[in-house]
Amino acid sequence: GEDAARLRQLLAVEAAEAFLRLLAIDARRDATAAFVASLRARLVETEARAAAGKALDSDVLKLRLELESAQLDLDGLGRARVVAAADLGRATGGEDPVEPHWDGRYDRDLSPQLADLVARAVAERPDLRALEQRRRALELEAGAVRASRLPRLEARATFTATAGDPFRPDALTQGAIAVAWNPFAAGSRRPQAAALNAERAAVDADLRELRRAVEIEIRDALARLNTARAAVAVRARGVELARETLRIEGERHRAGRATTNDLLDAEAALRRQQTEHRLAQLDVLRAWIHLDLAVGTNGTNGG
C-alpha cells in the first residue's frame, strides 16, 4: 500500500545516510593518509639534512611528533570505518559489513524549481496519494447516499402474442412506469450523509495541511541543495589557495626563510581544505537524497 511505499522510501534514505557517513570517514581517512605519507617523506628528507648539518634536530623532532599524531588520527578513522561499514550492512538489511562503491559523481545537471517539485510531489508522494484517494472515495460514497434519498423511476414492458384469437390483435404490448420512493429511508440517510461530509471535510483539512508541510519540506531541501552547491565552489577555491600556500612555504623553508612549523601548518591547512571539499560534495549528494524524499521520487527531475 501507500504506507508501505513511503516506509520503503524512508528506509532507503536511512541506508543512504549510512552510506554517506562511511564516505565522509573515507574522505577524512584519505586526506589523513596522504598527510601521513607526506610527513614521512618530509621526515626522511629532514633527517638527511640534519645529518648533513643543514637542518636542526628540533625540526626532526617536530616532524616525528606531527607524524605520530597524524598516525593516531588515521588509526582512529580506521576503527570508525569498521563500525560505519557494519552500520551500512545493517541499514541495507544484511548482517555483514558493506563496502561503499561511489563513482565520485555527486551532483546532477538540473536546476529544479519549487513549483514543479510541489506539483510532482502531489502526484508521486504515497502519503499524499493515499489521502487524495480517501477523499475521492468519500465523495463517491456521499454521492451514492444522496442519490438513494431521491425518488426513482422504474419502467417495465411486456409483450404478449395472441395468434389464432379472432377477437384480439395478433400481439399485445403492455408497458408501465412506476415511481419508487421510501420517504422513511430518506430520514436515515441524512445522518449518514452528514457523517460522510464531516469525514470528507476532515480529510480535506489533513490534505491541505500535508501539502503545506510537503511544500515547506521541499523548500528546505531545495535551499540545502543550493547552499551545498555554493559550498563546493568555495571549498574548491580553498584547496587551490592552500596548495599554492604550501608550495610557497616549501620554497621559503628550503631557502631558510620559513620555519618547520610554518611548513607543517601549511600542510595541515591543505589537508583540511581537501577534506572539507570532499565533505561539501557529499553534502550536495545528501541534499539530492533528501529532495528526492520530499518529492517522493527516486530521482528528481528539475524544471
DSSP symbols for the chain: -HHHHHHHHHHHHHHHHHHHHHHHHHHHHHHHHHHHHHHHHHHHHHHHHHHTTSS-HHHHHHHHHHHHHHHHHHHHHHHHHHHHHHHHHHHTT-SS-------S----S----HHHHHHHHHHH-HHHHHHHHHHHHHHHHHHHHHHHTS-EEEEEEEEEE-TT-TTS-SEEEEEEEEEE--HHHHHHHHHHHHHHHHHHHHHHHHHHHHHHHHHHHHHHHHHHHHHHHHHHHHHHHHHHHHHHHHHHHHHHHHTTSS-HHHHHHHHHHHHHHHHHHHHHHHHHHHHHHHHHHHHTSSSPPP-
Instruction: Kindly state whether residues 58 and 131 are assigned to the same domain.
Output: no
Residue 19 lies in a domain: yes
> Which positions of the chain have pLDDT values less than 70?
1-3, 142-190, 298-303
Residue 172 lies in a domain: no
Half-sphere exposure for 151 (CA within 13 Å, toward CB): 7
pTM above 0.75, yes or no: no
* Count of structural domains, the chain: 2
Residue 193 lies in a domain: no
Determine the residue type at 111: S
Instruction: Kindly state whether residues 139 and 285 are assigned to the same domain.
Output: yes
Please report the DSSP string for 228-281 in residue order.
Answer: HHHHHHHHHHHHHHHHHHHHHHHHHHHTTSS-HHHHHHHHHHHHHHHHHHHHHH
Q: How far is CA 110 from CA 223, 292, 299, in A?
A: 14, 13, 11
pLDDT of residue 141: 73
Exposed / middle / buried, residue 267 (Cβ in 10 Å: 0-12, 13-18, 19+) = buried
- C-alpha–C-alpha distance, residues 231 and 90, integer Å: 31
Q: 101-127: per-residue pLDDT in tens?
A: 888 899 998 888 888 998 888 888 878
Nine-digit cell at 129? 496519494
> Domain residues for 90?
1-102
Determine the residue type at 200: R
pLDDT of residue 302: 44
- Residue 131: closest CA among 2, 294, 298: 2
Instruction: Kindly state whether residues 138 and 31 are assigned to the same domain.
Output: no
Over its C-alpha atoms, the chain yields an Rg (Å, rounded) of 37
Residue 288 lies in a domain: yes
pLDDT of residue 174: 54
Do 252 and 262 touch, CB atoms closer than 8 A? Answer: yes
Instruction: Kindly state whether residues 56 and 25 are assigned to the same domain.
Output: yes
pLDDT of residue 196: 72
Determine the residue type at 83: V
Residues in the chain: 303
Instruction: Kindly state whether residues 227 and 295 are assigned to the same domain.
Output: yes
Boundary (domain end) residue, out of 68, 84, 102:
102
Exposed / middle / buried, residue 146 (Cβ in 10 Å: 0-12, 13-18, 19+) = middle
Instruction: Kindly state whether residues 234 and 130 are assigned to the same domain.
Output: yes
Q: 130-188: per-residue pLDDT in tens?
A: 777 787 887 777 666 665 665 555 555 555 555 555 555 555 555 555 555 555 455 56
Residue 49 lies in a domain: yes
Residue 48 lies in a domain: yes
- C-alpha–C-alpha distance, residues 100 and 276, integer Å: 20
pLDDT of residue 242: 96
Q: Identify the bridge partners of residue 175 per DSSP, sorted by sequence position.
A: 157
Which CATH number characterizes residue 219's domain?
1.20.1600.10
